[in-house]
């Protein structure tokens, strides 16, 4: 694998995303979404983790797994039928300096490998699930962070209105109602809805995107409309994802 155009550095913030090989689906039923989310949680650990050994064999819920020290912090995430987006930064850990890799790289390899094995085993398929290595955009300003925070949480609107990214959201009230029913993102967690998935988030490392719950719904629209030029950073093509 070649070197990345954008190096992944500890302590920096990144928009991480990937999609299915040849744009194929990576989620085929609700169980797949749930498994992906639980892997996001348990793989964020300096421990070597096996879902079968550590969760299934011990007969515990993944959310009860004692992760110990985590290696990344997640501020926002969304799952779509054939791709995902995660806004994350790395936690500083002695482990990465010994291995010569960033914590994000370690986490993504551990996590994507585990999910690919799960899908290939469940559906008796072979080959790569994802379209190459994960993509990364370096987030370098508060404006870009706020745009990304909005973009991630508005992404499911594509299932309601395909051209929302290019032409704007035609009916915001309808879009908000749709987002409030969409389980596969951190949108509901930022509304402080009580659910286990909120354990994925580390709000302290994403202060620039923190907002009053009352204003959250309004501000994600404002941030997306105010900073559209930020989407071009890192050659991020909105039409592809």
**Domain locations in the chain?**
13-136, 141-232
| pLDDT tens per residue, range 135-182 | 999 998 888 888 899 999 999 999 999 988 888 888 989 999 999 999
Provide the pLDDT for residue 217: 83
Provide the pLDDT for residue 225: 79
Tell me what the pLDDT averaged over the chain comes to: 86
Among the listed residues 199, 220, 200, 202, the one whose alpha carbon sits nearest the alpha carbon of residue 211: 220
DSSP string covering 170-210, please?
A: S-HHHHHHHHTT--SBSHHHHTT---GGGGGB-GGGGGGG-
| Bridging pattern class, strands 135-139 and 13-19 | antiparallel
How many beta carbons lie within 10 A of that of residue 60, not counting itself?
12
Residue 157's contacts (CB-CB under 8 Å, 6 or more residues apart) are 164, 169, 175, 178, 179
Provide the pLDDT for residue 238: 47
Provide the pLDDT for residue 152: 94
Round to whole Å and give the CA distance between 149 and 224.
Answer: 9
Provide the pLDDT for residue 97: 46
Residue 36's contacts (CB-CB under 8 Å, 6 or more residues apart) are 26, 27, 79, 84, 115
Residue 188 has pLDDT above 50, yes or no: yes
Among the listed residues 200, 241, 10, the one whose alpha carbon sits nearest the alpha carbon of residue 105: 10
pLDDT band per the 50, 70, 90 thresholds, residue 194? confident
Tokens standing for 217?
A: 């719904």
Provide the pLDDT for residue 215: 81
Residue 235 has pLDDT above 70, yes or no: no
Round to whole Å and give the CA distance between 184 and 187.
Answer: 8
Whether 63 and 41 have beta carbons less than 8 Å apart is answered as yes
Round to whole Å and give the CA distance between 179 and 177.
Answer: 6
CATH number for 13-136 (one of 3.30.230, 3.30.70, 1.10.10, 1.10.357): it is 3.30.70
Alpha-helical (H) ranges within 81-236 are 94-99, 103-122, 142-154, 164-167, 172-179, 187-190, 213-226
Whether 182 and 175 have beta carbons less than 8 Å apart is answered as no
| pLDDT tens per residue, range 62-80 | 999 999 999 999 999 999 9
Tell me how long the chain is: 241
Provide the pLDDT for residue 168: 84
| pLDDT tens per residue, range 88-128 | 998 765 454 445 788 999 999 999 999 999 999 999 999 89
């Amino acid at each position: 694998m070649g070197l990345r155009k954008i190096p992944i550095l500890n302590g920096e913030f990144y928009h991480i995303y990937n999609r299915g090989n040849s744009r194929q689906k990576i989620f085929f039923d609700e169980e797949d979404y749930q498994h992906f989310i639980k892997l996001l949680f348990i793989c964020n650990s300096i421990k070597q983790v096996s879902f079968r050994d550590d969760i299934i064999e011990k007969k515990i819920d993944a959310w009860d797994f004692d992760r110990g020290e985590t290696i990344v912090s997640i501020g926002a995430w969304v799952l779509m039928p054939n791709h995902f987006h995660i806004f994350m930064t790395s936690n500083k850990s002695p482990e990465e300096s010994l291995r010569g890799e960033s914590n994000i790289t370690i986490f993504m390899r551990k996590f994507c490998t585990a999910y690919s094995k799960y899908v290939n085993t469940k559906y008796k398929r072979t080959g790569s699930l994802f379209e190459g290595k994960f993509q990364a955009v370096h987030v370098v300003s508060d404006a870009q962070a706020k745009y990304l925070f909005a973009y991630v949480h508005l992404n499911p609107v594509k299932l309601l209105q395909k051209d929302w990214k290019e032409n704007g959201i035609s009916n915001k009230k309808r879009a908000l109602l749709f987002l409030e029913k969409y389980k596969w993102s951190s949108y509901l967690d930022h509304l402080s809805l009580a659910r286990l998935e909120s354990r994925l988030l580390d709000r302290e490392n994403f202060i620039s995107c923190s907002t009053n719950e009352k204003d959250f719904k309004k501000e994600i629209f404002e941030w997306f409309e105010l900073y559209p030029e930020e989407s071009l950073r890192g050659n991020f093509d909105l039409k592809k994802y």
